[in-house]
Amino acid sequence: MKAAIIGGGPSGLFLSILLKRAQPDASIAVYEQNSADATFGFGVVMADTGLAQLRHADPQVFDALAAAMRFSDQQIIVSREAPITIKRPGSGGAISRIKLLRILGERARDLGVDIRYEQRIENFAQLDADVVVGADGINSRVRDSEADAFDVQRASLSNHFAWYGVAKAFPSPSLVFRKQGEGYFVAHYYPYSESMSTFVAECDHLTWRTLGMETMSADERQAVFERVFAPELGGHNLVSNHSTWRQFPVIRARNWHVGNRVLIGDALSSAHFSIGSGTRIAMEDAIALAKALNASPDDIPCALGRYVDERQPQKQKLIGASEASFNWYENIRGWMDAYEPQEFVLRFMTRTGRVDIGRLREQYPALVMGFEAAGLVPAQAGASS
């Protein structure tokens, strides 16, 4: 089998590893338009459920990633200046994106994968490959080269956001919802190394317009968030690395494959950053596609059909959770005005519809005790018999 993987991000590299490990004689090439040492963004997170999938798929990759990750078993949510600590049932991990790519790249090269950096493919039809995989993210050229055939649907959210870094390792991941003046702001930050954290800055569209942020320079916008979140930053400035302000693009390809071209990760369905599972979803797509291709390397149409049949149900659940989450954030002004801290956290924890009081009680007993004490839920609501 000959596979051409477009995109040298986490999903593309992990797919190449899984294919080459199972099919040593296969020709697996990864084409990445950026240089080997280029990275955009700062740290990425992976929950314990996603890490378990990686461990099963490739224990060697998992061990290398786990050794480089910074783990945390709690999150702090701040609303109306009241911090509420949430103890998680498992430990999620964060890792710098460049470190993640280096680990995956080294593993792929050790297996014999041909990784070609600074290679921008202009004509996918001319590739000598049995299957061409679009692992090239939200701005996928593989997908957009056949947008009608993939039946691509697009929309844009109203909130504005940008990814920054901070030269400070916060004690634990946190979400801060802050109303200041006429603005409604959100900061989501988490440590990913001994000295750095990712800091996602967000505001709603009315704040953007009211404060005149559309006419501000990038430095001025950054300064706004440095002022608003000065108590958390503690004298540190935000660090920019292609930290472009934008509105999240909701992209869905209704057809997962066209001919011998197939999509994974954000190229297929963009996962909103508020659920913290974008990397996990993309890498689990890679696991599912590799399983299908390894089972039928000589029958690509059959393999691609199996990939859709086996992956689509779970993928739809995760993307559905993403949509419920971003719709909740789109109304953040209303939530911040309407609810006191305890009820705000309850609304936040149940926003995707995948977690009810019964599940909260099982996984976050201390948190639910606080809800009970505040009269937000009955003492035995959702308790199993």
Mind listing the pLDDT tens digit for each residue in 304-337?
Answer: 999 999 999 999 999 999 999 999 999 999 999 9
3-state secondary structure of 157: coil
The per-residue pLDDT for range 344-372, each reduced to its tens digit, is: 999 999 999 888 888 899 989 999 999 99
**Cβ neighbours around 53 below 10 Å, total:** 15
Tokens encoding 224: 């706004």
Closest to 121 in 3D by CA, of 27, 11, 8: 8
Q: Which residue type is seen at 106?
A: E
Measured between alpha carbons, how far is residue 235 from residues 25, 162, 166, 226, 230 in Å?
55, 20, 11, 9, 7
Tokens encoding 24: 């040593």
pLDDT in the model for residue 379 = 81
> Where are the extended beta strands (E) located within the chain?
2-6, 27-32, 43-46, 70-79, 82-96, 114-117, 131-134, 152-156, 160-166, 174-180, 183-191, 197-203, 238-239, 249-253, 257-258, 261-263
pLDDT in the model for residue 291 = 98
* Inter-helix orientation angle 365-373/341-349, to 10°: 140
3-state secondary structure of 176: strand
Ranking 35-49, 108-122, 144-158 by mean pLDDT, the lowest is 35-49
Provide the mean pLDDT of the chain.
Answer: 94
Percentage of the chain with pLDDT > 70?
98
pLDDT in the model for residue 18 = 98
> Taking a C-beta distance cutoff of 8 angstroms, is the pair 30, 20 a contact?
no
The per-residue pLDDT for range 149-186, each reduced to its tens digit, is: 999 999 999 999 999 999 999 999 999 999 999 999 99
Statement: residue 385 has pLDDT above 70: no
- pLDDT confidence bin for 119, thresholds 50/70/90: very high
3-state secondary structure of 359: helix
Statement: residue 90 has pLDDT above 90: no
Buried b (16+ CB within 10 A) or exposed e, 167-192: ebebeebbbbbbbeeebbbbbbbbbb
Domains of the chain, earliest start first: 2-70+95-155+248-326 (3.50.50.60), 339-374 (no CATH)
pLDDT in the model for residue 47 = 78
Tokens encoding 279: 């990397």
What is the rounded average pLDDT of the residues 266-294? 94
- pLDDT confidence bin for 384, thresholds 50/70/90: very low
Q: Report CA 3 to chain centroid distance, whole Å.
A: 25
The per-residue pLDDT for range 203-236, each reduced to its tens digit, is: 999 999 999 999 999 999 999 999 999 999 999 9
- pLDDT confidence bin for 53, thresholds 50/70/90: confident
Q: What are the residues whose beta carbons fall under 8 Å from the beta carbon of 266, sequence distance 6 or more? A: 137, 138, 140, 251, 278, 282
* pTM for this model (two decimals): 0.94
CA contacts within 13 A on the Cβ side of 6: 28
Top-confidence residue, 129 or 45: 129
CA 325 to CA 348: how far, in whole Å? 9
pLDDT in the model for residue 28 = 98
> Taking a C-beta distance cutoff of 8 angstroms, is the pair 54, 65 a contact?
yes
Highest mean pLDDT out of 81-90, 270-279, 288-297: 288-297
